Structure 1
Amino acid sequence: MLDIQKIRADFPILSEKVNGKPLIYFDNGATSQKPQVVIDAEAKYYQEINANIHRGVHTLSQLATDAYEISRVKLQHHINAKFSHEVLFTSGTTHGINLVANGFASILKPGDEILVSSLEHHSNIVPWQMLCEKTGAVLKVIPINEEGELIISEYESLLSEKTKIVTVNHISNALGVINPVKEMIAKAHAVGAAVLIDGAQAVPHLKPDVQDLDCDFYAFSGHKMCGPTGTGILYGKEEWLNKLPPYQGGGEMIKEVTFEKTTYADLPHKFEAGTPNIAGGIVLGTAVDYLNEVGFGNIQLQEKKLLEHATKRLLEIEGLRIYGNAKNKASVVSFNIDGIHPYDIGSIVDKLGIAVRTGHHCAQPIMNFFCIPGTIRASFSFYNTKEEIDAMVEAVKKAKIMLS
């Protein structure tokens, strides 16, 4: 069992006030808050070892390089990658997805097919649309049912020898639905397709085992898992990373440059052009250490309790509908109240110090499926409490009365 008050004391922002009220932060799906140990680690880097990495023989450069590569190994172990060079530092999930999509431009030909799901964030739709425009490939969409779950029988019927890559999120950012990605990966591999998993919403809640999943690529962001913004990881199987061309050209990703020909560096540097977010990469390792110290079993237990409590309390409100009622869900509740725009609810509860997200959550096709403009999304983390949920429910009730 977690000592929630002790955990909350690790996060300075949770003691802040917003609009004169104690902050209740339920926008963890957009970004998580940062523990003091992460904040301190960022300052420590700049105070003690700030230097460019991989290129210098001087002491600070070597210290910074060691810290950066130690963090890469931490991330390798965290996701159970086979090799550390399969772990690429990126600026976030969007960067990782675009890197893979750009690489597949050299592989796809007209008539090839890419499968995405109806649950995707725009960052896992738009790069593939751009790729289709560039290559003549065709984008196919896996549909969902009224519970927000992917229809696996329809997925199976879409798979064929034309399918070259399947790209799907592990957990939906808008609905909290946990997709059966291991099963989906196996089915894709059976027709010879590669699979990319968007893990942005999964990594705050669970430890992905990329070897067990057998995915070809797994992308996620650091800022959603208590780490800094502008950080992320793209895991790729060694064979795939060797097959794809570099995403960007510049320093660090080369072995030798002449005006006649350039040869590229070995993995992972082939995909890491230019000076990276060194501090962010190092501190992402600190964030992973912190989450593992808390324990993902503890995190999942706490968040399950929060999800159950929020679902029960919100459904007490007449006219409230929850979207995404899958059997397998993360700690996200996406809801509306009949006849009231979600933005209006969000604006009123903000005045009471409660941060929720309103809108289409960069998942507009989901909103189109349900024929709604958007939802109110409350996304919980392990440092949230049932008491905070009760306060949100009362605020939503108050907003309903004001807006009815």
Structure 2
Amino acid sequence: MSSAPRPRVLLLFGGRSSEHAVSCVTAAGVMRAIDRDKYDVVPVGITRSGTWTLLEGTTDSFRLDQGQVPEILDSGTHVRLGSAGTDQAHDAVASRGLGDAVGLGSVDVVFPLLHGPYGEDGTLQGMLELADIAYVGSGVAASAMGMDKHYMKVVFESAGLTVGPYEVITDKQWLNAPEEALARCERLVRPLFVKPSRAGSSVGITRVDVDGDLRAAVEAARIHDPKVVVEQGISGREIECGVLEGRGATPTRSSLPGEIVVQPGDHGFYDFDAKYVDGAAAKTSCPADLTPEQTQSIREQAVVAFDSLGGEGLSRVDFFLTPEGEWVINEINTMPGFTPSSMYPQMWAASGIEYAELIDELVQLALHRKRGLR
């Protein structure tokens, strides 16, 4: 008797967003750790222009500490979903030039290791829903709201979570009445953090301590997103908590929390370089040094945040713990950084689920999840 075929996992990474390089680093970690005896892995990179290409070679160069930013280059072998002969959406097809198509076989689950727009924001999830293909992570609505710092705050407030003061500047508001938009921000206490509404990994974020710098900060954020969120700085410790979907009808799970401490130096906050380039810029502590009551509170609130969005699969929820002992939610990441050294896997390792086991759990959650409306 022949053994049952291994589930085929299409790892998808790179992408069109400003977090292209971070996605490559995440993918390298997952590809090294995923159980090749249990899963048949098809690595597919998305170039910055949006071309799906079959990865050739290794991912050893996918690092951010070697002076060269990793990038997906077109290998010449393009990949699409859907078989030319049978038009099966769950098949993957590779091709070189016109008419030279080679089937890669049926895809059982897509693992979208994509950060930012065109991957983490519901667009890819919508395509996979239409194709009836299982995938790791949250669905269309939760991904879209989790990507937009404005709408996630609205959802969190409605769920009873504490959100810091903020203002939103849309593209039309900035183009038609920039002075009015800046005036609205006067109610916020400095320092301010000006952010692209739909970007992550601290890309495009500026700390503003002087009023005259606000306009330039908004323009810098608009390079990445025409919609900008201006947040009042929150004094407090930066504490994060991992969330993992429960199997079937079982409740959502949360990890032990971790803490990020930015070291004195050139980084005024936990920016892109502090996260990924300058290894000495920030210190992570996991589990975080909290009282049992504080640990229980953040774990409960992280689950509320995840469930209020209708999250699935995984998320990392970021909070501030103020000197007064209040939890203020900052944001949720529906596809957090996922290298072995990233905070999300670290928190789950501290909670008893190691990196390879965590990858397996996420794939299994996707394979067993109900398709369609849920």
Give the structure with the higher percent helix: 1
- Normalising by the smaller structure, the TM-score range is under 0.3
**Greater RCO, 1 or 2 (C-alpha within 8 Å, sep 6+):** 1
TM-score between the two structures when normalised by the length of structure 2: 0.24
Larger radius of gyration: 1
TM-score between the two structures when normalised by the length of structure 1: 0.22
